Structure formats: structure tokens, C-alpha cells
Amino acid sequence: MCAVTFYPSLPATKTFRPPLMDARRACICCACSDWRSTKFVSEVTRDEPTVYYDSVSGKPLFVAPVGRSMDDFLRESASHGWPSFRDQEVVWENMRVLKDGEAVSVDGTHLGHNLPDSKGNRYCINLVSVAGNPTDTKQEL
């Protein structure tokens, strides 16, 4: 179960609702941190960085790991409960951080939040928000 933290057209409830498209933005449940039980952890390559695409637009948002090993990326993500990206792993032309710390794609997809720690900015991202595929092979990094 997860609590819905933002659905502009629905009141927050304690009941899970599937992702919902809204005319203003893509709305994704933000309180589900059980990404570790997905196939992601076992299927992600350990040999090279992985590109994470916006689940709505297909634009690349993150490339990780950069400046650390995949084991370090997964360890940090597991310790916080969310896939956690650092500044050097962000594709800045496709992602923004709002004044309140919310991370969104330039197309309005809610991604997660910036939760800085002693190492700097840490973008805790809902895995379903970056589980897209490129819509155009020219967008592959």
C-alpha cells in the first residue's frame, strides 16, 4: 500500500491508485519505495552506465552511475529507499528542480525530490517515473 502524495484532480488517500494522466502533468504515486522488489536490481547492467528515460516523454533524464560504481549507486539507493542520482548523473536539458525540491521533467512528469545530504544534491526518484524507453533513437545517449 502507498499513500498518494500528489494527484491534482483527486484528494490524497491511503489507497493506491495507478498513475494518472492529467492535462497539466503526469501524476505518479510518490510514496512507494519498494523498488528493490522489482526486477530492476537484478536486471540492471553492472558493466556500463544505464540511461533512465522519462516514462511519459521518452527523453533521457539520468545516466548512472557516473563517478561511482554501480554497486555504490545501488547501495546508496537501497539505504535511502529510492533510486538516488547525483548532479553529474542528471541530464539537465530534460530535468528541473522546483523551489520546493520537487524534481520534474521539462515535460512536467513528477520524478521525485532533491534531498541533499553531506555529499551534495541527491535526487530520490520514483523508479516508475524513469522506466520509459526512448521515443526516438536519436535521443539515446
- 25 near 103, Cβ under 8 Å? no
Can you tell me the mean pLDDT for 19-30?
42
DSSP characters for 5-31?
A: ---TTS---SS----EE-SS-EE---S
pLDDT level of residue 141 (50, 70, 90 thresholds): low
Torsion angle, CA of 40/6/124/122, rounded to 10 degrees?
160
- 84 near 126, Cβ under 8 Å? no
Question: Does 10 have pLDDT greater than 60?
Answer: no
pLDDT tens across 85-126, in order?
999 999 999 999 999 999 999 999 999 999 999 999 999 998
Question: Does 39 have pLDDT greater than 50?
Answer: yes
pTM of the model: 0.73
